Copies of this chain bind each other. A is one copy, B any other.
Amino acid sequence: MAVYTDFSDEELADFLRGYDLGTVVSLKGIAEGVENSNYLLVTETGQFILTLYEKRVDPADLPFFLGLMDHLAANGLNCPVPIHDRQGNALNVLANRPTAIISFLRGISIRRPQPEHCQAVGHALADLHRAAEGFELRRPNALSVESWRPLYEACDGRADEVRPGLGDEIEAELAYLEAHWPSDLPTGVIHADLFPDNVFFLDKKLSGLIDFYFACNDMLAYDAAVCLNAWCFEADGSLNVTKAHGLLSGYASVRCFTPAEIAALPLLARGSSLRFLLTRLYDWLTVPEGALVVPKDPLEYYRRLRFHRSVTDASAYGLGL
Contact = CB atoms under 8 A, between A and B. Distances in A.
Interface of A: 1-3, 7-10, 12, 23-32, 40, 42, 47, 104, 106-112, 201-203, 288-293
A132 B172 CA distance: 69
Nearest to A287: B290
Tally of this chain's copies: 2
A283 to B, nearest CB: 13
Instruction: Kindly list the 4 A-B residue pairs having the minimum CB-CB distance in the complex, ordered from nearest.
Output: A288-B290, A8-B111, A29-B31, A28-B30
Nearest to A29: B31
Contacts of A201: 9
A62 to B, nearest CB: 22
A78 B40 CA distance: 22
Contact of A293 (B31, B42, B47, B292): B292
B108 A27 contact: yes
Interface secondary structure of A, over-half rule: loop
A10 B288 CA distance: 33
A214 to B, nearest CB: 20
A111 B7 CA distance: 8
Contacts of A2: 1-2, 31, 292
B30 A108 contact: no
Contacts of A293: 292
A120 B71 CA distance: 47
A108 B41 CA distance: 10
Contacts of A28: 30-32, 40
B27 A30 contact: no
Contacts of A9: 108-111, 201
Given A2-B2, A31-B31, A40-B40, A26 B108 contact: yes
Given A1-B2, A112-B8, A289-B288, A29 B32 contact: yes
Nearest to A30: B28
B10 A112 contact: yes
Contacts of A112: 8, 10
Nearest to A202: B25
